[in-house]
């Protein structure tokens, strides 16, 4: 038996806002792309050749699924017209279908199957066409009957439409609760109801309450509470003390500190209430933000710009440092340079040129530090583990006068770490240098 | 921001209507206005039914107003949170700090039942 999986863009319009840019077949359901559930069912029904049909772009899904070898099947792709019904699909794909029994899975619907049951009987039942249907989708059989490969009676097959966020959320939660006893779900788990992906760091003081599914490359920081009924995607950071309950956190999302997410979907900086459909795009990156996984070029460019700035500072300050460092060290005054203004001419000059930071500058050349970012000299960067931590010689907080307290400084650092540009960093470094002079020597 | 005094329940309650966006640019004017309102009464209601958006700095400003009211033995109550604004209060757990009512009338009337208000009367 062969399978045609047909999905039309119009069936999945509701996904546009929640998962912009994602092929509907790749929408994650309990950390597993929707298409994999369909493929799993087709395999359970004895299909070894599957064709994916869509009226939208297929490149994303082709890239993900490849030729199907990972499932031990042959997977091909083709386009369909939005108005195509099942007869047209069969006609247009008659070369693929040949004279074999063909199962057509159409629409954005979830198949309630059980991986422990044998669905190979579908090839031999004379159903007269549709064997299951629901608003928006169906399972149809066409072509000649095949000899039965099983003696088992055909298990019931149910369909649930995924027509909106509410149903998407409900199906994801049901799948999570049903767990790996019924579906093949990703992740490792020592006990039922909890699946954890690769490269997951969970703090000792974080709590995980079943059922929960956690994707790959996830960091759960101290005091965070995950679950019950929490689906955490891949490339996610749950910051300190936050609670995620009955919610879905989609891939590449940062959840800030001390937040409470209950009955919501979070996708990057967007928070969605699946019940009402209300969508909120947060503008506070320290609360909710996207994690950009593809910023390698920007990171490299930033490192080059910072290294050039550090090299320039090393060159410009080399003479004052060469003269003043030994002098102040001998007088035992070097450690006073950052804090005591006007203690003497040498100290004042050293302070004005921020020579106390000079020994840190080579760290920028080696890529260990940034020229500007989070403060390393107060050891806060080492304690801060968010996405926005960039240990540096100068702090973004030093560019702004109002950041008086530690928490103010942290807000400023996080804001600029997420919004600054490499060239903007140079301007801010100059600003920090000026501010350091000004605030050490207030008039 | 419109502000009016309500004395229907035998206690002077200041009702402020917040409108549009309450972000970093709107926080300082709110704090300033709130200080002025506090001189008239420490019992305040913020009617948020026309507030479309709030961010953390706006939330910080409202919490600051609450703190000032509490310091003056009053209270700040919120009314008519729109779904988006309510989501921010839920997310940040700020909802636990406030008494929240469906409309400004209910919020103002609620002061009539508080021990502080009874004492005042």
A187 located within any domain: no
Q: Check residue A205 and give its pLDDT.
A: 96
| Domain co-membership, A154 together with A109 | yes
In a domain, A177, yes or no: no
Q: How far is A284 from chain B (nearest CA, A)?
A: 7
Number of domains into which chain A is organized: 3
Tens of pLDDT, residue by residue over A358-381, are: 888 998 988 888 888 886 544 444
Residue that finishes a domain, picked among A118, A145, A163: A163
- Chain A nearest C-alpha distance from B3 (Å): 28
Contact B3, B15 (CB under 8 A): yes
Task: With respect to residue A169, please indicate whether it lies within any of the assigned structural domains.
Answer: no
Residue B120 binned pLDDT confidence (cut-offs 50, 70, 90):
very low
* pLDDT tens digit sequence for B89-110: 999 999 999 999 999 999 999 9
Whether the pLDDT of residue B115 is over 60: the answer is no
Number of Cβ within a 10 Å radius of residue A260: 18
Read off the pLDDT of residues A390-442 as tens digits, 9 standing for 90 and up: 788 888 888 876 656 777 777 777 778 777 888 888 888 888 888 876 665 44
Distance CA B7, CA A215 (A): 56
Q: Are residues A11 and A159 in the same domain?
A: yes
Answer whether B91 sits within 8 Å of A276, measured CB to CB. Answer: no
* Residue A74: per-residue pLDDT: 95
CATH code for the domain of A148 = 3.90.550.10
Among A263, A290, A317, the domain-final residue is A290
How close B55 comes to chain A (CA, Å)?
Answer: 7
Instruction: Mark which of A270, A290, A310 sits at the end of a domain.
Output: A290
- Cβ contact (<8 Å) for B90 and A258? no
Look at residues A298, A307, A303, A242 and name the one whose alpha carbon lies nearest to residue A271: A242
Q: How far apart are CA A182 and CA A167, in angstroms?
A: 19
Do residue A352 and residue A421 come from a single domain? yes
Pairing of strands A207-208, A158-161: unpaired
- Does residue A266 belong to any structural domain of this protein? yes
The answer on A108 and A149 residing in a single domain is: yes
- Domain match, A283 and A348 both: no
Mean pLDDT of chain A: 85
With CA atoms as reference, the chain A residue closest to B96 would be: A260
CATH number of the domain where residue B26 is located: 3.30.750.24
Are residues A280 and B93, on separate chains, in Cβ contact within 8 Å? no
The total number of structural domains that make up chain B: 1
Q: Do B55 and A284 touch (CB under 8 A)?
A: yes
| Domain coverage including residue A245 | 194-290
Contacts of B26 (CB under 8 A, 6+ apart): B20, B58, B61
Identify whether A186 is part of a domain. no
- Token couple for A233: 């995607």
For residues A316 and A337, state if they share a domain.
Answer: yes
Closest to A114 in 3D by CA, of A175, A47, A33: A175
Question: Is the same domain home to A205 and A154?
Answer: no
The reply to whether A18 falls in a domain is: yes
Q: Is B84 in Cβ contact with A287 (below 8 Å)?
A: no
Residues A340 and A378 in one domain: yes
pLDDT tens column, B11-47 = 899 999 999 999 888 888 998 999 999 999 999 999 9
Mean pLDDT along residues A329-335: 75
The pair of three-digit structure tokens given for residue A263, joined into one six-digit string = 């009955």
A12 three-class SS: helix
Answer left, alpha or beta for residue A253, where phi above 0 means left and psi between -120 and 50 means alpha: beta
Q: Which CATH number do you get for residue A234?
A: 2.160.10.10
* Residue range A199-228: mean pLDDT, rounded: 94
Question: Is A184 within a domain?
Answer: no
A277 & A348 share domain = no
- Please answer yes or no on whether B87 and A287 come within 8 Å at the CB atom: no
- Which 8-state DSSP code applies to residue A436? H
Q: Closest Cα of chain B to A260: distance in Å?
A: 5
Q: What percent of chain A has pLDDT above 70? A: 90
Domain that residue B77 falls in: 2-120
pLDDT of residue A125: 82
What residues have CB less than 8 Å from A350, skipping those under 6 apart?
A: A320, A324, A325, A328, A334, A337, A356
Kindly state whether residues A281 and A311 are assigned to the same domain: no
Output Rg (C-alpha) for chain B, integer angstroms.
13
pLDDT of A293 reads: 58
| B84·A288 Cβ contact <8 A | no
Q: Tell me the pLDDT tens digit for each residue of B48-90.
A: 999 999 998 899 999 999 999 999 999 999 999 999 999 999 9
A224 and A115 assigned to the same domain: no
Query: Is A144 found in the same domain as A6?
Result: yes
Q: Which residues of chain A are within 8 Å of residue B88 when distances are taken between CB atoms?
A: 280, 282
Q: Decide if the complex's ipTM is over 0.85.
A: yes
For residue A294, pLDDT over 70 is answered with no
């Amino acid at each position: 038996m062969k399978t045609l999986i047909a999905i039309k863009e119009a069936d999945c319009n509701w996904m546009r806002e929640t998962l912009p840019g994602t092929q509907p077949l790749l929408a994650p359901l309990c950390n597993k792309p929707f298409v994999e559930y369909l493929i799993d069912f087709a395999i359970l029904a004895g299909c070894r050749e599957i064709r994916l049909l869509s009226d939208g772009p297929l490149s994303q899904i082709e890239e993900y699924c490849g030729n199907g070898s990972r499932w031990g099947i042959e997977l091909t792709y083709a386009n369909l017209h939005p108005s195509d019904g099942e007869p047209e699909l069969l006609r247009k794909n008659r070369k693929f279908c040949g004279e074999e029994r063909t199962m057509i899975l159409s629409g954005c619907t979830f198949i309630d199957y059980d991986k422990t049951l044998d669905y190979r009987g579908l090839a031999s039942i004379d159903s007269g066409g549709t064997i299951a249907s629901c608003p928006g989708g169906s399972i149809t059989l066409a072509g000649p009957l095949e000899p039965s490969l099983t003696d088992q009676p055909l298990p019931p097959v149910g369909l649930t439409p995924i027509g909106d966020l509410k149903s998407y959320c409900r199906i994801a939660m049901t799948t999570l609760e049903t767990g790996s006893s019924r579906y093949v779900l990703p992740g490792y788990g020592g006990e039922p109801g909890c699946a954890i992906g690769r490269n997951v760091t969970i703090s000792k003081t974080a709590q995980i309450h079943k059922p929960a599914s956690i994707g790959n490359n996830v960091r759960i920081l101290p005091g965070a509470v995950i679950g019950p009924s929490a689906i955490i995607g891949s490339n996610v950071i749950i910051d300190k003390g936050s609670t995620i309950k009955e919610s879905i956190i989609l891939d590449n999302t940062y959840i800030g500190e001390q937040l409470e997410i209950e009955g919501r979907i979070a996708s990057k900086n967007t928070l969605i209430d699946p019940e009402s459909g209300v969508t909120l795009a947060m503008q506070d990156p320290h609360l909710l933000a996207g994690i950009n996984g593809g910023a390698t070029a920007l990171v490299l460019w930033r490192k080059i710009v910072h290294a050039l700035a550090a090299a320039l500072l090393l060159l410009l300050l080399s003479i004052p440092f060469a003269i003043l460092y030994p002098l102040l060290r001998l007088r035992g005054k070097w450690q006073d340079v950052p804090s005591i203004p006007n203690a003497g001419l040498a100290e004042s000059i050293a302070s004005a040129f921020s020579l106390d930071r000079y020994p840190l500058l080579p760290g920028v050349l080696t890529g260990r530090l940034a020229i500007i970012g989070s403060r390393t000299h107060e050891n806060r960067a080492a304690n801060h583990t968010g996405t926005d931590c960039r240990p540096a010689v100068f702090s973004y907080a030093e560019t702004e006068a109002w950041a008086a307290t530690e928490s103010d400084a942290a807000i400023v650092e996080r804001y600029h770490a997420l919004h600054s540009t490499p060239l903007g960093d140079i301007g801010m470094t100059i600003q920090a240098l000026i501010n350091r002079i000004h605030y050490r020597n207030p008039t | 921001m419109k502000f009016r005094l309500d004395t229907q329940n035998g206690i002077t309650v200041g009702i402020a209507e917040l409108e549009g966006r309450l972000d970093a640019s709107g926080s300082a004017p709110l704090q300033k206005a709130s200080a002025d309102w506090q001189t008239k009464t420490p019992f305040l209601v913020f009617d948020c039914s026309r507030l479309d958006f709030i961010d953390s700095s706006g939330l910080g400003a409202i919490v600051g107003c609450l703190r000032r009211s509490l310091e003056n033995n009053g209270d700040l109550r919120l009314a008519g949170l729109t779904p988006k604004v309510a989501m921010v209060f839920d997310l940040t757990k700020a909802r636990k700090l406030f008494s929240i009512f469906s409309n400004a009338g209910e919020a103002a009337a609620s002061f009539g039942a508080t021990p502080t208000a009874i004492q005042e009367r």
